[in-house]
Amino acid sequence: MERIELGDAEIIRVTEWQGSFAPAVRIVPGLAESAWHRAGADHYDPVDGSYLGALQTWVVRTGGRTVVVDTGVGDDRERPATPMFHHRKGRFLDLLAEAGIRPEDVDTVVNTHLHADHVGWNTRRHDGRWVPTFPNAVYHLPAADLAFFDPAAHQDAAHTTADPAADPARRAEWDQVFTDSIAPVLSAGQAAPWSGTRTIGPGLVLEQAPGHTPGSSVLRLSSGGRRAVFVGDLLHSPVQLAHPACNSCFCLDRAQAAASRLRILHQAADQGELVIPAHFAGPGAAHVERTGSGFAPRWTRWTR
Ligand SMILES: [Zn+2]
Residue 74 bridge partners (DSSP):
none
In the reported structure, the alpha carbon of residue 217 is separated from the centroid of ligand 1 by a whole-number distance in angstroms of: 12
Strands (E), the chain: 2-6, 9-23, 44-45, 50-62, 65-69, 108-110, 123-126, 129-132, 138-142, 191-194, 197-201, 204-208, 217-223, 226-232, 274-277, 286-291, 294-299
Q: What is the CATH number of the domain that holds 56?
A: 3.60.15.10
- pLDDT values of the chain reduced to their tens digit, one per residue, 304 residues: 899 999 999 999 999 999 999 999 999 998 999 999 988 999 999 999 999 999 999 999 999 999 999 999 999 999 998 899 999 999 999 999 999 999 999 999 999 999 999 999 999 999 999 999 999 999 999 999 999 999 987 655 544 445 555 678 888 999 999 999 999 999 999 999 999 999 999 999 999 999 999 999 999 999 999 999 999 999 999 999 999 999 999 999 999 999 999 999 999 999 999 999 999 999 999 999 999 889 999 999 888 7
304 inside domain: no
Residue 65 bridge partners (DSSP):
62
pLDDT at 164: 54
In the reported structure, the alpha carbon of residue 278 is separated from the centroid of ligand 1 by a whole-number distance in angstroms of: 6
206 inside domain: yes
In the reported structure, the alpha carbon of residue 174 is separated from the centroid of ligand 1 by a whole-number distance in angstroms of: 13
- Chain centroid, CA 254 distance in Å: 17
Residue 194 bridge partners (DSSP):
142
In the reported structure, the alpha carbon of residue 72 is separated from the centroid of ligand 1 by a whole-number distance in angstroms of: 8
Domain span at residue 230 reads 2-299
Q: How many domains does the chain have?
A: 1
Q: Which residues of 29-58 are buried (b: 16+ CB within 10 A; e: fewer)?
A: eebeeebbeebbebbbeeeebbbbbbbbbb
In the reported structure, the alpha carbon of residue 119 is separated from the centroid of ligand 1 by a whole-number distance in angstroms of: 10
Query: Amino acid identity, residue 2?
Result: E
| SS3 at position 143 | helix
In the reported structure, the alpha carbon of residue 271 is separated from the centroid of ligand 1 by a whole-number distance in angstroms of: 25
120 inside domain: yes
246 inside domain: yes
In the reported structure, the alpha carbon of residue 288 is separated from the centroid of ligand 1 by a whole-number distance in angstroms of: 21
177 inside domain: yes
pLDDT at 1: 82
pLDDT at 170: 85
In the reported structure, the alpha carbon of residue 279 is separated from the centroid of ligand 1 by a whole-number distance in angstroms of: 7
Q: How far apart are CA 183 and CA 122, in angstroms?
A: 10
pLDDT at 155: 52
295 inside domain: yes
